[in-house]
Amino acid sequence: MNDQLGDQLKYILDGGECRVGLESTIIGFENDRAIVYRLGGLSIEDIENEIGKVDVQLNSSSNPKAPGQLKSHYAPRKKVEIGNLPELVSQYSHLKVGVLAFQNGVERVGPKNQIILSKSGNVDEAAQHFFAALRELDKKEIDVILSEFLPEAGLGKAINDRLRRASAD
């Protein structure tokens, strides 16, 4: 957090490693209908189990109703590309790459330049490590961060949303 805020705050209380790893889910209500404005630490499935069907309205071009709705949000300084990791590594072979992988790394990238979010394939564990991993790769001496989408279930939806925003121009 201190990397993002710099000297804007006089004091930051470090509460240790985050259990969820994603910012909060933002839900609003319009005409008695629940609307998710930002995916976060609560999955759509968990919300719907509690309150029933919700609408999802994640994007806003200029007048967002909640933080995190603009096309680019929490983007690292390094360019982020998302897709099939082995293909991306081949495509960017002329550059120094960092890899942010869900479950399996890429052999052609050294271990110091890649982070695996969950070797067991658990999206909750991946969410817990996501922002720290993205920040860590952003600090490395690499040209581009290559990543892949996670399964579109549970917190995987929120991680994929953050990846899309991190890779936006």
State the pLDDT at residue 81: 97
State the pLDDT at residue 168: 85
Domains of the chain from N-terminus onward: 2-56 (no CATH), 79-167 (3.40.50.11030)
Residues 47, 54 contacting (CB under 8 angstroms):
yes
* The pLDDT of residue 107 is above 70: yes
Q: Report the amino acid identity of residue 26.
A: I
pLDDT band at 155 (very low <50, low <70, confident <90, very high): very high
The residue with tokens 């609003």 is 28
19: Cβ contacts below 8 Å, ≥ 6 apart? 128
- Tell me the average pLDDT across 110-124: 96
State the pLDDT at residue 37: 86
Which strand ranges, in their side-by-side order, compose the sheet holding 33-38?
26-30, 33-38, 55-56
pLDDT band at 66 (very low <50, low <70, confident <90, very high): low
User: How far is residue 99's CA from residue 144's CA, in Å, rounded to a whole number?
Assistant: 9
- Tell me the average pLDDT across 34-62: 84
User: How far is residue 163's CA from residue 39's CA, in Å, rounded to a whole number?
Assistant: 12
What whole-number percentage of the chain has pLDDT above 90? Answer: 57
Global pTM value: 0.75
Question: Which residue would you say has higher pLDDT here, 71 or 140?
Answer: 140
User: How far is residue 141's CA from residue 33's CA, in Å, rounded to a whole number?
Assistant: 47
